[in-house]
Amino acid sequence: MRIAFRVIAFGLAAGALSGTAQAQTLSSKFYQENVFRQCSSGIACTATYPAIPADRILKVNSVSCRVFVTSRTAIFSQVEFGSDKGDGPFFLDVMTISYPEDGRLFAASFKGPVYLSHGATPRVSAFWAGGSVSFNCNVAGLTEKSAPPSGAGAAEGD
């Protein structure tokens, strides 16, 4: 009886280990990147993120930013998210957090999901006029295994 129990227990443990190995081969991988950017002149400041692999798309679940404008009289307009492949723009909701002595602080957020193309480079851009701007943005989502489109009409067949 004890031998049979040990054989069954060993078989269950082996099955659990093989299930773990299968779980590790899933085609999705977590993507989370944080980028800080500072611009002292102009009207747009853009942060770029690591490129998505050519055989994957990025399912973006959220983008969140802290934006600081160094002038209380600056005109801060918006924060956009997209990619160099023309995905987007997706506009973040902006909320004023505070008015410190040396400027204005904003929070910007976006809830997905939205998808970015194969091999795309994600970007976040802040738009303002007056003073300088700095922002710290986090992009979180999943890269999903997908065959890259081939030929000009590939997207139409999907």
Q: Using 50, 70 and 90 to split pLDDT, how confident is the model at 149?
A: low
Distance CA 56, CA 59 (A): 10
pLDDT (0 to 100) of residue 141: 96
Q: How confident is the model at residue 15 (pLDDT cuts 50, 70, 90)?
A: very low
At 102, the pLDDT band (50, 70, 90 cuts) reads: confident
CB 68 within 8 A of CB 126: no
